[in-house]
Amino acid sequence: MTEDAMKLFREMSQWGCSPGAETYLVLIRSLYQAARLSEGDEMIGFLRSAGFSDSLNRKAYYGFIKILCGIERVDHAMKIFRMMKGYGHAPGIKTYDLLISKLAVHNQGERANALFKEAVARGVPVSPNVYKVDPRYVKVKKKKEENKRETLPEKMARKRRRLKKLRLSFVKKPKPARRFI
């Protein structure tokens, strides 16, 4: 579906139509939803160069960040957040809450705390919460197995089991009997 939209977008100039701000915004949202991040960033550049930079307001940036957090691309959402601040749009409480919670869930507590402190310094009334880290993002330490020496009875039992498996591998397995009723 996104591919069809991109095709139509490219063909608009051949038909004598120029895309509007809403066309760009919908296309950017669609590209981000399809995880085509570089194309979405490129489309933001096209939108700015087409003279529609006033349509990139706080609400549009929040929509982009929400989509990126929804598809678990928190680092790219932070990039869009920095871009938002760079162009002079002050992030609101919803933007800060969304990013802080996603960073905390992704086991990036230091970045979440830094973002919380930044929000408090800017006067945004964010409330401190306790977040649960998603187990997918927790790095588990692997336990090193100590090389303990095998005792003689353990070694003999291991060899017996292995030889038994080897001998049984040469035996023809019986086929299951079919019953006729």
Mean pLDDT, rounded, for 27-35: 91
Q: Is the pLDDT of residue 119 over 90?
A: yes
Residue 2 and residue 30 in contact, taking contact as beta carbons nearer than 8 Å: yes
Residue-wise pLDDT for 78-111, tens only, equals 999 999 999 999 999 999 999 999 999 999 989 9
pLDDT at 147 over 80: no
- The stretch 17-31 carries a mean pLDDT of 88
Tell me which of 2 and 53 has the higher pLDDT: 53
Residue count (the chain): 181
Per DSSP, the residues of 43-75 read HHHHHHHTT-GGG--HHHHHHHHHHHHHTT-HH
Average pLDDT over residues 56-61: 91
As a whole-number percent, the residues of the chain with pLDDT over 70 amount to 97
Residue showing tokens 């991109």: 6
Q: Are 134 and 104 in contact (CB under 8 A)?
A: no
Q: Which two tokens stand for residue 88?
A: 């002079």
Most confident by average pLDDT, 148-152, 154-158, 169-173: 154-158
| Amino acid 82: pLDDT | 94
| Residue 181: per-residue pLDDT | 62
Of the pLDDT bands very low, low, confident and very high (cuts 50, 70, 90), residue 67 is very high
CA distance 177 to 7: 62
